[in-house]
Amino acid sequence: MANEQSGGVMETVKTVVSALLIAGVIRTLFFQPFWIPSGSMKSTLLVGDFLFVNKMAYGYSQYSCPFGICPISGRLFGTEPERGDIIVFRHPTLGVDYIKRLIGLPGDKIQMKDGVLHINGTLAPQVAQKTFVESYGPQGPQRRTPACSNGVVALGNECEKESFVETLPNGVKHTVLNVRKTEGDNTPVYNVPAGHYFFMGDNRDNSVDSRFAQGASGGVGYVPFENLIGRADRVIFSSAGARMLYFWTWRGNRFFKGLD
């Protein structure tokens, strides 16, 4: 009986170890889970969206492994990203993962003028659409409240943002939001160096991104190719509550929602 019990315990241990190894391989080579913590990519991504990042999209670097421990120099099986891709990358100095939209490729000149994006001297046209509206209140585990273009808003009331469809030079169309005039609305010309990329959030006035220099404020600056982790293609599910397991707060209209 003792031997049978010992054998059963060993089989359980082997099963658990095998499952962990398989999960580790999948996470390292194929997909990485990512939980949206902030509103910098609204309305494309909402606080509480859960997705898997496609790590095969651009090949593999040291940051393809958890904690950046892959013994890889440069990038293996590297494939160039496309302008407009939504990408998870390792912050160049802070060691944390960010998710933003790829705006500038190596050699590009990027500038914001009066809140409108210019790429290589040509503006990316914006067409106004229906105002983005959400309920004003604490969002996600960090319990941050959103910024509103309609002034001071009481808890539970409608929080508005101007919404536009922006078209990038390669034809990619996506939604951007505007709240108010900020320092990120008018910038110098950024010359994206070779081997680096320029990222911005879709919620332009609530995004710390490549428009801001790397430093204590969390500015991203230019992101090296090897820091790219993978592409976000689809939301798996979404929770409007403080915890993922609060199923009564799940957003039914975002299950397996494709991303533009």
* Residue 106, domain CATH: 2.10.109.10
Write the CA distances from 19 to 6, 23, 212, integer angstroms: 20, 6, 42
Number of domains the chain contains? 1
Q: What is the mean pLDDT of residues 18-31?
A: 50
- Known catalytic residues? 40, 100
Token pair belonging to 209: 């991104």
Give the whole-angstrom CA distance, residue 144 versus residue 21. 36
Give the whole-angstrom CA distance, residue 117 versus residue 108. 13
228 contacts 55 by C-beta, under 8 angstroms: no
Tell me the pTM. Answer: 0.87
Instruction: Give 253's pLDDT tier (boundaries 50, 70, 90).
Output: very high
Quick: pLDDT tens for 55-107. Answer: 999 998 988 887 777 888 888 888 999 999 999 999 999 989 999 999 999 99
Segments forming the whole domain that contains residue 115:
2-258
Beta strands 126-135 and 97-104, pairing class: unpaired
**Alpha helix locations (H) across 89-220?**
none
